[in-house]
């Protein structure tokens, strides 16, 4: 809620997001503790898709946490909508984007679902296994490309996270990365085309070939993610 957040504030937000999916958790399918290496293998099994994003709720300020009584159904429903509508703020969720199987005739014109190659949903807190993971969310085939095998993992921990009685997070390899990558590539091309700062790189042996290979790699990544079919054109 700060108008001018510091690097410390931003690092704190990033750290909490990462912790919500990287702290110890149990695989709901087989009851085993989830290893980091296994999560990475699951999310990045395809060589053409190498980026991921994390979404987490609730996002309430610390002062209101003692009064937070969100149910698992509420958290899972809102988190799923954030995922398919490609949003990161709980208070700015676009509810007009729907899965094809539910009220597709109300779907926002010109919008498409944000699809994921793979995803890991992690619930932390009270009744996370007995109640939270029984909620029918994140299982729609519309959320994943047809070729993706076993794209969804569900994990849980009975320990509370960040002073919240219940926390839901999703770590996914999805089309969310397209817009940020396009912005980075466009700005970099603009600087490169005007030879801005190029001499600094040249001092260390970086040539035009290195830059062009880098641009080609990122542009290929953007193209691959667009092929998921869930990013507006």
Task: Count Cβ atoms below 10 Å from residue 200 Cβ, excluding itself.
Answer: 9
**C-beta of residue 129 within 8 angstroms of C-beta of residue 156:** yes
Please report which confidence band the pLDDT of residue 232 belongs to, taking 50, 70 and 90 as the band edges. Answer: very low
Whole-number pLDDT of residue 233: 38
By three-state DSSP, how is residue 220 classified? helix
Each residue's pLDDT tens digit, 100-124: 754 444 444 446 899 999 999 999 9
Each residue's pLDDT tens digit, 3-30: 788 999 999 999 999 999 999 999 999 9
The first and second tokens of residue 149, run together, are 């095998």
Place of tokens 């949903």: 121
Average pLDDT, the chain: 89
C-alpha 221/C-alpha 181 separation (Å) is 9
- 3-class SS string, 4-62: CCCHHHHHHHHHHHHHHHHCCCEECCCCCECCHHHHHHHHCCCCCCCCCEEEEECCCCH
The pTM assigned to this predicted structure is: 0.88
């Amino acid at each position: 809620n700060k108008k001018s957040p510091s690097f410390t504030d931003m690092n704190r937000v990033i750290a909490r997001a990462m912790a919500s999916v990287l702290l110890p958790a149990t695989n709901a399918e087989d009851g085993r503790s989830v290893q980091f290496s296994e999560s990475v293998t699951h999310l990045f099994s395809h060589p053409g898709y190498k980026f991921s994003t994390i979404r987490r709720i609730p996002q309430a300020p610390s002062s209101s946490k003692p009064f937070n009584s969100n149910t698992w159904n509420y958290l899972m429903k809102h988190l799923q909508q954030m995922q398919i509508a490609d949003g990161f703020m709980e208070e700015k969720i676009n509810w007009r984007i729907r899965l094809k199987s539910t009220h597709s005739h109300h779907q926002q014109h010109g919008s498409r679902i944000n699809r994921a190659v793979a995803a890991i949903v992690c619930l932390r807190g009270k009744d996370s296994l007995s109640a939270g993971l029984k909620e029918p969310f994140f299982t729609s085939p519309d959320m994943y490309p047809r070729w993706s095998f076993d794209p969804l993992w569900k994990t849980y921990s009975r320990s509370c996270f960040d002073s919240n009685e219940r926390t839901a997070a999703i770590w996914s390899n999805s089309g969310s990365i397209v817009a940020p990558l396009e912005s980075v590539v466009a700005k970099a091309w603009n600087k490169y085309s005007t030879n801005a700062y190029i001499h600094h790189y040249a001092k260390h042996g970086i040539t035009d070939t290195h830059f062009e290979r880098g641009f080609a790699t990122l542009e290929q990544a953007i193209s691959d993610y667009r092929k998921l079919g869930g990013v507006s054109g």
